[in-house]
Structure 1
Amino acid sequence: MNIMHQKVAIYNNKIKESAELIFESYSDSAENVGLTLVLAGLGRYKFQGSDFYTALFGLRALLEPKSIVICINGCRLDFVCSSMGQQMSQ
């Protein structure tokens, strides 16, 4: 399993805050990658998917009802990933 930590900006009810995004890749699971967003005082949100773009979209879907927006291009509503990009993200 490979793990990478990255600091990201989020908007929580239109207030900018910082958070930590943890990227995990698994070799022995049907879900190849996992993303965990660690928010100070608000807990952890985790989503697993077949590639990082699928996991980002799923994580965004978990957070939007809570008025939390991740400031990453892959989470934009108008973002479209090419099939080559999805293959490379695994």
Structure 2
Amino acid sequence: MSIQPEITQRDLRNRSREIMDAIQGGQSFTVTRDGHPIGQLVPLRRRRRFVPRQEFTAMSRSAPGIDLDTFRADQAATAETYPDDPYVR
């Protein structure tokens, strides 16, 4: 685990563009006031929208097998066969 560099409140104010660029690049910071840590600036995780084919293939190989009969029985047991009509009063 790497140690986050400390920046002062004044540094944050005066060098905000530089610091925000560093955060966007994956750097984290601990913000201090009067020598005491008061907060952390960390990059947000971005969700991937695409999984490469090789990664999907590797994940699929290690996935557990599914017994179709058991799966269908579970579906039948939990699904409503005749859902109530929401308009009947």
TM-score band, normalised by shorter chain? under 0.3
Higher helix proportion:
2
Give 1 or 2 for the bigger CA radius of gyration: 2
Higher strand proportion:
1
Structure with the bigger RCO (C-alpha within 8 Å, sep 6+) is: 1
